[in-house]
Amino acid sequence: MNILVVEDRGAVSFYLAEALQAEGHVVLEAYNTNDAQAHWDNRETTPIDCMIVDLQIPQDGLTEAEKEESRSGLLTGWLWLRGHVLPYVPEEYGSRVIICSDYLRDLMEFVGADGCRGIWLVPKRSPSGSAGEVLKRVREISGMGK
Amino acid sequence: MKREQWPFRPIHITNDGEQAPQGALLRKLAGPGIITNSHLQGIQSAICHKLRYPTTIIEFSPDGEPVRTDSPLLTFQMHPACGRFWDCTSSIPCAGDQRQGYFCKESDGCHAQFFRSLQAFELPTRLPKKPPQLGPLGEFYPGAPECDFGPVTHEGGRTFLFYDCPLLGYREALFPILFEDAVIGVLFIGQIVLEHKKRFIEQRMKALLSRQPHCFDAYLKREGRSRQPEDILSEVLEEHRKWIAQPESILTEERYKQLLSDTCSELAKFEQQLQTEMHEQRQRYIGEKVTERIGQFRKDLPADVPRDGDPLKPLWENVARTVGGIAEDFALRYVVVFGVSSLSTEEQSVLDIVAQAGSLPDQFSDPQKAGRIKLKLAGLPAEPYTQIIYASRRRNRGYLKLLRECDLGACGDLALVFLPVPLHPQSSIAILVGYWEHNPSASRENDAGADLDTALQSFNSLIVSSLSAILATTAQRHTVDQLRILGHEAGQLITGLDWMRVTYFANPTRLRDLDERRAEHLCRDLEGFQRQLRFIFDRATLLTQELPQLHKDLFQAFAELLYKWKDIYRLEALRKSLQFVTGFEGAEDPDRPALFADRILLEQLFYNLVNNAVKYCYRGTKIHLDCRLKSRRKGSPHILTVTDYGREMPNTEHVFDLYWRRDDSEQGLGIGLHLARQIALAHGGTISHESAKVSDYNVPLIEPYLKAPFHFSREPARLHDALRDELNRLKESRQHNEIVARTEKGDSKYAPSIRALADEIKRPTYRVTVMVEIPRDGGKGK
């Protein structure tokens, strides 16, 4: 599976990528929304079967209006998904998106309970470790086929 | 010594999930993963389907009665001579469970015991005794010879054994089903052996009919016909002849060998599946329990800092309750938490026992001895996470040294010391975890990995929560939001650790197979995580209180402060394509003599500066670090400098004010530079900065932009010309080389995407240098 990982912290993304690669996936890494958009624009050549998105990432690539909306950058990842990804895919694609972040509460306040329906939300500081939860979801998505 | 059980080890393999010791929890977690006899029957069913051959399975619960399950065809096949009458035998006394046909505790139980002995390396090559005849069959065939067990056999890495039963004209292969080194069941694959004398069976049937005709009463009643025993016998024998005449009923030796081989491979798959399910179940269990405990911990935290008494007291009481619960949930032998017992304590470099739970060793349970046990922070090694790895392998001398230094002595079955950070005492916690040395079901090879994995998961949460709680307890109100962001930074690192755990520690095979270079990277990254965590917590502590009294000593500032930053930020440097330039030429460099200062605070100061630089520099740039004498004159101060290339830092003194930020969209806290100034001032020094534009463009992007003109054909030509001129100017003035990070081969480290080129090329690049001047004697004082 080709997995897009949108994460700016090297301390997180490095071992995240290693874990996914160890499971046989191809990891497309993005440091900010610019990188993410570049991979997304290229999806006809390299389809993106799953994406793992952090919410707080550098705002490069967002419009000024989106930057205003981003709540001091806390919701950058969501704004990119909302504006540049979700409108261009069928609704069920949402089930292939995992948001892994510390700011899920801010997201829920911002979009409401229905706003991100179908998207898998994983808190970064989950007591049992967010990595296991993300991997589990990736395996489920992998089982869904392409 | 009583052996405690780990959750979801074979004790929970039960015929009935309700009977499990933690039945309520198991029900709550109902779903795949709890091994019940339905799992084993599922295995049996799947194997029968795969092999297209009937089997029998016996499930052995450690505490409960074994249960035998036959696949539907088996009864007839196994007892071709009397199978038709099997239902009639319920009146015959039987040693085992008759619901499933028959079960003989003595003989069938013997099978599992045999394999368990093998597993325990007691190495019997034959069963210790021949079991008596199989329950009711003994009644059918009084005086028949006993079954004869064959030698232990190995096939496909699996141990199993045969036994021949001439009485039944039958031979069986017995396969143990293993789960975490325990035999949880035995699978039987049987084969009719023609040489085992059909005549013998006929004789026995005749004898039975003459001596015990009541055995057939139920059969006759059910059939509703009046039959003579002789007729029944001839009918049975006729059936038997027909049955053995069917080519698929009697296996050839070749087919039987193939069956055994297939069984081995199928069983291996199912065992792996069981392991996977149990692993998932454990994760859920850990998640549930830790979430529950930590949730309660947070809920019980006092909302306000008590004005009277010691504010830490209620915190530690809460911690004690939490660790007590966790020790119980995870069947740990004991947990001892070291921390600062009082904010007013003067002995700041020592941690007392502040909470404990479980069955404590003498050192802790004896009040007199326990009172003397303190953790001396100064004596602790600086690589706690690395210690965990080695400690769990029990081969590390440093670990034993650590125990001695902590006055812990020989703690017997102590298996792990978890030391988050030797910090400033008020934000320190060390947790000592004791496991049962003979974990009954942990696999020999993997126990370190599994236990470490579990411990890291559960205690990371507690540590983060406890540290947050300490910080919250000591924080002033206006710092709450800032601490939340600090908590986020710590959370990022914990998440990184978690991915490292999943990738390596949860997979001992991969950890073992690491090559030397990769293992070295792993250790460095662990150290990097640990140091960054330490500095984050230090920063939070410093934020909420006056700077502590300085403890100055002489140390090699450049070597000790600068050189290691490459490793600490290795991962960020990889992802952001950065390059650290230290220009370090050796500890004896006369421009960089030793410095007399507070090592911990100065390190914190330097961390704040480097952290700022990493955060605000552009991708693909260099960060220059240096520490040298301002001049060669006697008494000249030291100058620490950190230079990055990226966003502008306004040339105003306000940048060192508390909570100063350029705009709200910044990720920073506005405290790093403030603390740096406080530390510099405490040493009698000064801090300043310079910010100068070096280019109107994002310098690391200029070359890649010019090399990709096709993509930007709509851009005005003058931009290309301007960029080319700019590149030439930067190269001529050697600034380009000073700014752009390079690989060892000399190529640019950063390969930007087309979008990044288009979007970011027009951002101006600033050179931002922060300078800290510190007197050679570190200011007044000792």
pLDDT of residue B698: 94
Residue B619 scores a pLDDT above 90: yes
Interchain contact, A38 vs B532, CB within 8 Å: no
Q: Do B255 and B298 fall within a single domain?
A: no
Count of positions (residues) in chain B: 782
Q: Which of A125, A133, A138 to mutate to test the interface with B (most CBs of B within 10 A)?
A: A125
B460 CB near a chain A CB, below 8 Å?
yes
What mean pLDDT comes out for the span B520-549? 76
Query: CA distances (Å), A79 to each of A59, A71, A98, B770, in order?
Result: 10, 10, 14, 35
pLDDT band (50, 70, 90) for residue B14: very low
Q: So what's the pLDDT on residue B562?
A: 65
Do B467 and B559 sit in the same domain of this protein?
Answer: no
* Shared-domain flag, residues B331 and B263: no
Query: Chain B within 8 Å of A109 (Cβ-Cβ)?
Result: no
Who among B291, B502, B754 is closest to A127 (CB)? Answer: B291
Over residues B336-344, mean pLDDT: 68
User: In Å, how far is A34's CA from the nearest CA of chain B?
Assistant: 6
Pair (B582, B684) in one structural domain: yes
The more confident residue out of B402 and B78 is: B402
Residue window 698-757, chain B: list those with CB within 8 Å of chain A: 753-756
Q: Is B378 contained in some domain? A: yes
Boundary-marking domain end, from B239, B271, B303:
B271
Distance CA B377, CA B623 (A): 33
- Interface membership of B461 toward A (CB under 8 Å): yes
State how far the Cα of B613 lies from the Cα of B748, in Å rounded to an integer. 20
A41 neighbourhood in chain B, CB within 8 Å:
755
Q: Which of B564, B638, B640, B549 is nearest to B594 (CA)?
A: B638
With a CB-CB cutoff of 8 Å, which residues 473-532 of chain B face chain A? 488, 491-496, 498-503, 507, 510, 525, 528-529, 532
Residue-range definition of the domain harbouring residue A30: 2-144
Tell me, yes or no, if A93 comes closer than 8 A to chain B by beta carbon.
no
In total, how many domains does chain B have? 3
3-state helix, strand, coil in chain A (%, to 5): 50, 15, 35
Question: B653 versus B772: which is more confidently predicted?
Answer: B772
Of the ranges B43-57, B200-214, B588-602, B706-720, which one carries the lowest mean pLDDT score?
Answer: B200-214
**Distance of alpha carbon B694 from alpha carbon B674, whole angstroms:** 26
Residues 606-625 of B with CB under 8 A from A: 619
Encoding tokens for residue A11?
């301390």
Least confident interval from B83-87, B184-188, B210-214, B285-289: B83-87
Nearest 5°: the CA angle B673, B674, B676 is 60
Chain A residues touching B290 at Cβ < 8 A: 127-128
Whether B572 sits inside 8 A of A125 (CB atoms) is no
pLDDT computed for residue B518 by the predictor: 84
B753, B754, B761: best mutation site toward chain A, by most A Cβ within 10 Å?
Answer: B753
* CATH code, domain carrying B561: 3.30.565.10
Reported confidence tier of residue B629, pLDDT bands at 50, 70, 90: confident
Closest chain B residue to the Cα of A70, Cα to Cα: B665
**Nearest CA to CA, how far is A96 from chain B (Å)?**
20
- B197 within a domain of the structure (yes/no): yes
If one compares B530 and A134, the residue with the highest pLDDT of the two is A134
- The reply to whether residue A34 touches residue B464, judged by beta carbons under 8 angstroms, is no
pLDDT (0 to 100) of residue B516: 81
Q: Is B719 exposed, middle or buried (0-12, 13-18, 19+ CB in 10 A)?
A: middle
Instruction: Tell whether B258 and B306 lie within a shared domain.
Output: no
Note which residues in 644-703 of chain B have CB less than 8 A from chain A.
Answer: 664-667
If you average pLDDT over each of B180-189, B220-229, B527-536, B743-752, which comes out highest?
Answer: B743-752
Q: Is residue B732 part of a domain?
A: no
Q: Do B755 and A67 lie within an 8 Å CB cutoff?
A: no
How high does pLDDT run on average in chain B?
Answer: 66
Q: How sure is the predictor about B8, in pLDDT bands with cuts at 50, 70 and 90? A: very low
CA–CA separation, A134 and B362 (whole Å): 43
- Tell whether the model's pLDDT for residue B774 goes beyond 50: yes
Position B599 confidence tier, pLDDT thresholds 50, 70, 90 = confident
- A72 contacts on B by Cβ (under 8 Å): 664-666
Mean pLDDT, rounded, for B45-58: 72
Does pLDDT of B345 surpass 60? no
pLDDT at B319: 75
Q: How far does B155 lie from chain A, in Å, by closest CA?
A: 30
- Per-residue confidence (pLDDT) for residue B255, from 0 to 100: 74
Return the number of CB contacts < 8 Å for A and B: 129
What pLDDT is attached to residue A102? Answer: 81
B389 band by pLDDT with thresholds 50, 70 and 90:
very low
Helix (H/G/I), strand (E/B), else coil: A38: helix
Range of the domain at B607: 552-696+764-774
Lowest mean pLDDT among B20-34, B149-163, B244-258, B686-700: B20-34
More confident residue, B68 or B535: B535
Q: Chain B: nearest CA to A35, how far in angstroms? A: 6
Domain-embedded: residue B736: no
For an interface test with A, the pick among B462, B503, B579, B759 (most A C-beta atoms closer than 10 Å) comes out as B503
Pairing of strands B638-646, B67-70: unpaired
When pLDDT is cut at 50, 70 and 90, the band that residue B726 belongs to is very high
- Alpha-carbon distance B636 to B67, whole Å? 85
Q: Are residues B397 and B296 in the same domain?
A: yes
Q: How far apart are CA B218 and CA B221, in angstroms?
A: 5
**What are the Cα distances from residue B421, in Å, to A80, B417, B543, B725?**
37, 12, 18, 51
Q: Give ∠ CA B462-B463-B465 in degrees, rounded to 5.
A: 65
Query: In this predicted model, what pLDDT tens digit does every residue of B496-512 receive, in sequence order?
Result: 888 888 888 777 777 77
Whether residue B507 is contained in a domain is answered as no
pLDDT at B296: 74
pLDDT value for B73? 43
The pLDDT assigned to A50 comes to 95
- Name which residue leads in pLDDT, B292 or A122: A122
Q: pLDDT band at B279, cuts 50/70/90?
A: low
Interchain pair A18, B664: CB under 8 A: no
Q: Is residue B247 part of a domain?
A: yes
Q: What is the pTM of this model?
A: 0.50
Query: Which residues in chain B have Cβ-Cβ distances shorter than 8 Å to A128?
Result: 283-284, 286-287, 290-291, 457, 461
Note whether A15 contacts B529, CB cutoff 8 Å.
no
Average pLDDT of span A32-39: 90
**pLDDT score at B193:** 56
Q: Do B457 and A128 touch (CB under 8 A)?
A: yes
Task: Report pLDDT for B223.
Answer: 58
How many helices and strands in chain A, by DSSP H and E? 6, 5
CA dist., res. B298 & res. B473, Å (int): 12
Q: Cβ contact (<8 Å) for B496 and A124?
A: no
Q: How far is CA B705 from the centre of its chain?
A: 44
- State pLDDT tens for residues B565-597: 777 888 888 889 999 888 655 545 666 777 788
pLDDT band of B728, cuts 50, 70, 90:
very high
Minimum Cα–Cα distance from B484: chain A residue: A102
Whether residue B266 is found in the same domain as residue B294? no
Q: Which residue of B has its CA nearest to A75?
A: B665
Residue B622 falls inside a structural domain: yes
State how far the Cα of B693 lies from the Cα of B144, in Å rounded to an integer. 102
Q: Which of B276, B464, B499 to mutate to test the interface with A (most CBs of A within 10 A)?
A: B499
Highest mean pLDDT among A117-131, B237-251, B564-578: B564-578
Q: Hey, is the C-beta of A12 within 8 angstroms of any chain B C-beta?
A: yes
Say whether both B422 and B565 belong to one domain.
no
Q: Give whichever of B275-279, B288-292, B317-321 has the largest mean pLDDT.
A: B317-321
HEC string of B378-406 equals HHCCCCHHHHHHHHHHCCCHHHHHHHHHC
Q: Do A136 and B280 touch (CB under 8 A)?
A: yes
Nearest to B501 among A10, A73, A129 (CB): A129
Q: Which residue has the higher pLDDT, B83 or B521?
A: B521
Has residue B162 got a pLDDT over 90?
Answer: no
The alpha-helical segments, DSSP class H, found in chain A are 10-22, 33-41, 64-69, 76-80, 104-111, 130-144
Q: Decide which of B475, B498, B526 is a domain's last residue.
A: B475
Question: How many domains does chain A contain in total?
Answer: 1
Among B475, B495, B528, identify where a domain stops.
B475
**pLDDT at residue B84, as a whole number:** 38
- Same domain? For B353 and B388 the reply is yes
Residue A109 maps to which CATH number?
A: 3.40.50.2300
What digits encode the pLDDT tens for the residues B92-150?
Answer: 333 333 333 344 445 555 665 666 555 554 444 444 444 443 443 344 444 444 445 55
Tell me the chain A residues in contact with residue B493 when contact means C-beta distances shorter than 8 Å: 11
C-alpha count within 13 angstroms, C-beta hemisphere, residue B245: 6
Q: For residues B218 and B365, state if they share a domain.
A: no
CB contact under 8 A, A130 and B498: yes
Chain A residue numbers with beta carbons less than 8 Å from the beta carbon of B450 are none
What is the average per-residue pLDDT within A88-113? 86
The reply to whether B323 and B186 lie within a common domain is no
- Do B267 and B293 lie in one domain? The reply is no
Q: Across the interface, do B529 and A11 touch by the CB < 8 Å criterion? A: yes
- For chain B, say whether A143 makes contact (Cβ under 8 Å): no
Contacting residues of B for A11, CB less than 8 Å apart = 492-493, 495-496, 528-529, 532, 571-572
pLDDT of B661-700, one tens digit each? 665 445 555 677 888 888 888 888 899 999 999 999 999 9
CB of A38 within 8 Å of a chain B CB? The answer is yes
Residue B742 lies in a domain: no
Residue B88 binned pLDDT confidence (cut-offs 50, 70, 90): very low
Per the model's pLDDT, the better-predicted residue between B431 and B389 turns out to be: B431
- Higher local confidence (pLDDT), B475 or B98: B475
**Residue B322: predicted pLDDT:** 76
